[in-house]
Structure formats: C-alpha cells, structure tokens
A and B are shown apart, each in its own frame.
Chain A
Amino acid sequence: MGMTITEKILARAAGVDRVVPGQLVDANIDVVMCHDVTTPPAISMLVEKGIDRVFDPDKIVVTPDHFQPAKDVQSAELHKRLDDWARRHGIKHYYKLGRAGVCHALLPEQGHIRPGEVIVGGDSHTCTYGAFAAFSTGIGSTDLAAAIATGKLWFKVPASMKFVLNGSLPPGVYSKDVILAVIGRIGTDGALYRAMEFVGPALAGMSMEARMTMTNMAIEAGAKNGIMAFDDTTQTYLRQHLKESTAYQVFESDRDAEYLATETFDCAKLEPMVALPHLPSNAVPIGQCAGRPMDQAYIGSCTNGRIEDLRLAARIMKGKQVAIRTLIVSSTPEVWKQASDEGLFDVFYSAGCVISAPTCGACLGGFMGVLAAGEKCVSTTNRNFVGRMGHPKSEVYLASPATAAASAVEGKLTDPRKYL
C-alpha cells in the first residue's frame, strides 16, 4: 500500500520508513512560527518550569501581528514579553514593527517555508503552508512551548481526504470561492482530524498566493492540515523567495495511497460564493444573497491580503467611490510597499477607502475596524463566527476580494462579474 504526501512527510520527520493513519509519531519540527497572542503564554510556561531554552534559534520565526502595532497597554505587555524573549535567545528571524506582518503571509514571502518540512505555529491557520507541499498545522501554547524547547512534538498521523478540482475557474471566480464551496459541501467538521489533499487541473492555473488562500482555510473544515503537490509554480515561487537554505525535499502521494474519501468539484461551474453568518460552511452562490446591505468591507488578512488580492480590489474600485466604510489591510510590509509602488493606494484613496498598516487587526475583532451591534461586514477573511469581528450581534460575510470590492462600491452584497 502506498503513502500519501502527508504520511511521507511525517514519516521522514519521525525518522521511520512508513506510517499509517492513526499512528502516533514523535516528529522533528523544522520551523516554529510564533506570534503575539499564543507565544507569550508559552514563554511564561517555559520560564515557570525552569526550561527557558529554545531548541534552535535559527528555526523559530517570530512576528507580532494580531495586536500589532500595540492596541492597548495589555497588548504592549504581550509584545514586550515576546521581544524580551526573542532577544534573550538570539532568535534570528525576528520581524519587528516595520518588518512584521500577518504571520501566514509573511513566512512564505520571506522564504521560511520549504517543501517536505514540518512547520508548526501557535495559530490555527498555520495549515496555510501546506500549499508548498509541506506538513503544517496549528497548535496551542503548551504545544508551542514544547516545540520551542525540544524541537519535537507528538502527532497522530491523519487519514487523508482527496479533493479533486476539475476544470478551470471562470472569470470572477477565485480560489476563495472554491474553498468556500468545498467547506460548504463538507461542513466545518467535514475533514475533522484529517489531511485535506487538493489535486486537479484547476490548481495548475492558480498562483501560490491563490493556493495559500485554500490551504489557509483547511482548518475551517476541521482539518489537521491542507496540502498540495509541488509543481512548476511552486518551484518558481521558491526560487524567488528562499534566501538561505535553498535545499528541500519533494514528496508526492503514491498512486495507490489510501484516502478516506474523494470529493470532486467542477470548478468551471462555480460562481462567486459568500459564506453567510455565522459559519464558513454557510456558503451560497452570490445570486442567492446579492442585495443584502452591508456597513463595512474588509480586504486583508492571511487569507486574502496579498498583492494579487489588492490588485483585484483596485481593478474593481478604480474610478469609483465606495458606498460603505472600506478597509484595505496589506498583510505584510512588502505587500504594502508593492501596492504603494503600483499606485494601488491612489485608487483606494480616491475611492474613499482607509489604508492600514499590516496587522491582523479587525480580522479577529482586535482593533482597526471592529463592528458595532447589528453591523454587517463583507470580509475577505476566513472566519465568520459569532463576534469574530466585534460585537456578538454583528455579522461577517466571507467572500473573495473581488466580491468584497464590488460590494464596497455598491454598499450591498454584489456579484463582482459585472465589474470585470
């Protein structure tokens, strides 16, 4: 019996020839991602236990992002704990304000993600990096503390589900729409504890940025990781972004690997999707919800705050005015600079948007655009739970940057295809 790509990477990391789903393995960790919410408690735990050490200061990547720049005294204290610790241990890849960005956009962009590696991070959307044929998964603070101190973690090898994406995306339909359709079909626990492996011709036409939007949301179906095979697009991206160690190992699923289930999608038939409150799985085609009035549009986050997302939004807003509060939040300083160089900020400014520094900000209801009771926001983020972006009685509608931009212009949920 063959193995899946997920199984092969975990076997490699555990130093064994083969693993099977359900097996517990002790895996060596290649990269640990640390941010400002879950890492400070992990640091305190290590200090309390008297094991204030790091397994390898070169393999830990630190970027404050959630409440960055500090939104209040308490978050400033979190940042200070993170900062003291990073300096004390000589963490090599420490992105401070000015270079800090939303973690899952920053790490691949700065060349910290390599195929075949095991990456963990104190954040549920760490599954994003699976777009690079790597195994990556989110963990809590205790796991993070253990990973920081020992460079190892226990894992239960997940069974894999295969998602075959056939056809190619019609105009106005993006990878965000595909992943919303996938989660809409299988539900928020449709892949609970499993690996979601995406394959098929539709992927070939997607940039790495677009692919990351999909693996980013694997957790929204309950998955342990999302993963995609290595191809030319991956290789080109890595050539442009890897800085130091440029060697990596490529694994692929065997033909006779075993899958718990296979789901097939005809992407050519997809329409722009919107996930209605309060679950990412409440996904409906735009035709079923167009016209609902919105109070705010949010374009940003680790899901859709990359340069091509901003380009797309600008294309739609060019020469128009937004009808509602609209926030543009680049996910990293590099994206910010690029958007500025390309003149996108002029378009956003003229349209009446506000342009923010890179931060998680309002994506998790932190700051910079939180919602009042009863307000509705069309957002390019990944989660629309109760209270996610502010008041528990506010509502979040998840959509692609194109749909969010078109909706910003009209002040109500809008099919972006008429603007393309």
Chain B
Amino acid sequence: MLRSRDDKKTQRQKSEVWPMAKAHVYQRDHINTDEIIPARYLNTDKEAELAKHCMEDLDAGFVKKAKAGDVIVAGDDFGCGSSREHAVWAIRGAKVQTVIARSFARIFYRNAINCGFYLIESADAVDKIKDGDEIEIDYDAGVIKDETSKTKIQFMPLPDFALEIIRDGGLLDHIMKTSA
C-alpha cells in the first residue's frame, strides 16, 4: 500500500497563490506533536486521514474553520515532542500554507524542510499578526503582508541549503538529483 501523498504539493508554497489567507493565532509556546496529531491516529500515514485530526487536541474546531491556504501562527518551540513526520503531513494535508512561529522544535523543523514544507520563524510576525487577520506571504522576498492591519513584516528566508532541498521538492528528490 502506498501513501496517498501528492508530491506535487510539496512545492505549492512557491507556485500557488492564496489570496485572503487567514491567520489562526495560538498565542502559546510548546505546541507539541501530540496536540498537532494525537498518537491515537498514528496507525495510518495517509495524509488525508491525518488531516481530519489536524490540531485536534489543541483546538478541536480547527479543521472545520481552516480554509485552504490558511496559516497557523504560534509562539516558541512549535512542534516539540515526537519525531512523527505525521505532524507535518497533518498540517499540509489540512491545506495549511505554512506555520509562522517564534521558534520551532528541532525535529519538526527538519521534517518540514525534508518534506519541502516552508516554515517561517519570526518573532515580529507573531507579535503583530492577530487572530483572523488576512495575510499574504511572499516567500522569495521574505515579506508577510498583513492586509487587515495594513502592515508589512519582514522575515529571514530559510538558509540556502534548506531552500535547495525545498526547491528540489524534498530531501529524497534532492538526494536523487545530487547523487545522480
């Protein structure tokens, strides 16, 4: 049985434009992988299945209210806990465009890069973006436009080696490309 993961999606942050992406702000630190995707659902690795339970133990209403392209905003140490990449898949499967956090837990951060999922680390953005704000993100320029408060927030793009992996569509494609 193969995963239902659609590899084309990995690059969607670069290619797709989501007008009116809404910010779902959780002003909390240490949002962990058990809250993002509880272990009781780890008996599958199908992205669509996992997506149904995205953020369930933090905010049971999240999946209902999030639209394609919406953004999760959170405090420090987002994604701490288990190494389950299922956390990234659940978020991506729920069509969340990216997560903006003050900081990320190490394994979650690495998993996201490895699956070609762009994360934004920006304390400034977490301070300024309010729950429900409409935002637009320019990944190449490193700019978040908050349409609701009419502010522009700069962020540091990912380091080059990470961008390379994301551009290639994730670590495995990157390896195949560089070792060919």
A41 to B161 alpha-carbon distance, docked (Å): 24
Asked if B1 and A44 sit within 8 Å, CB to CB, the answer is: yes
Query: If A67-B43, A222-B77, A383-B81 touch, does A140 touch B175 (CB 8 Å cutoff)?
Result: no
**Could you say which residues of chain A place their CB within 8 Å of the CB of B42?**
37, 66, 364, 366
Q: Does B156 contact A (CB under 8 A)?
A: no
Q: Does B172 contact A (CB under 8 A)?
A: yes
| B109 vs chain A, min Cβ distance (A) | 9
A40 to B84 alpha-carbon distance, docked (Å): 12
User: Contacting A222 at CB < 8 Å: which of B80, B115, B170, B176?
Assistant: B80
A residues 192-221 with Cβ under 8 Å of B? 192-193, 219
Asked if B30 and A279 sit within 8 Å, CB to CB, the answer is: yes
Asked if A44 and B57 sit within 8 Å, CB to CB, the answer is: no
Q: Does B83 contact A (CB under 8 A)?
A: yes
Asked if A49 and B172 sit within 8 Å, CB to CB, the answer is: yes
Among A37, A78, A81, chain B packs the most CB atoms within 10 A around the CB of A37
Count chain B residues whose beta carbon lies closer than 8 angstroms to a beta carbon of A.
Answer: 45
The segment from B62-70, B99-107, B130-138, B140-148 that touches chain A is B99-107
B residues 153-174 with Cβ under 8 Å of A? 161, 170-173
**Could you say which residues of chain B place their CB within 8 Å of the CB of A47?**
2
Task: Flag B29-45 by CB within 8 Å of A: 1 or 0 each.
Answer: 11010110011101111
**Could you say which residues of chain B place their CB within 8 Å of the CB of A338?**
none
**Could you say which residues of chain B place their CB within 8 Å of the CB of A140?**
83-85, 88, 107, 110-111, 114
Asked if A365 and B38 sit within 8 Å, CB to CB, the answer is: yes
Among B2, B77, B80, chain A packs the most CB atoms within 10 A around the CB of B80
**Could you say which residues of chain A place their CB within 8 Å of the CB of B171?**
142-143, 145-146
Q: Does A268 contact B (CB under 8 A)?
A: no
Task: Flag A72-88 by CB within 8 Å of B: 1 or 0 each.
Answer: 10110110010000000
A24 to B161 alpha-carbon distance, docked (Å): 9
A249 to B74 alpha-carbon distance, docked (Å): 43
Asked if B34 and A385 sit within 8 Å, CB to CB, the answer is: yes
B residues 1-26 with Cβ under 8 Å of A? 1-3, 7
Asked if A388 and B80 sit within 8 Å, CB to CB, the answer is: no
**Could you say which residues of chain B place their CB within 8 Å of the CB of A189?**
29-30, 76-77, 80, 103, 105
A159 to B50 alpha-carbon distance, docked (Å): 35
Asked if B83 and A138 sit within 8 Å, CB to CB, the answer is: yes
Instruction: Please give 13 more A-B residue pairs, beta carbons under 8 A apart, in addition to A75-B43, A146-B171, A146-B175.
Output: A49-B173, A67-B43, A72-B43, A74-B44, A77-B1, A124-B81, A141-B85, A142-B111, A150-B175, A154-B161, A188-B77, A385-B35, A386-B35
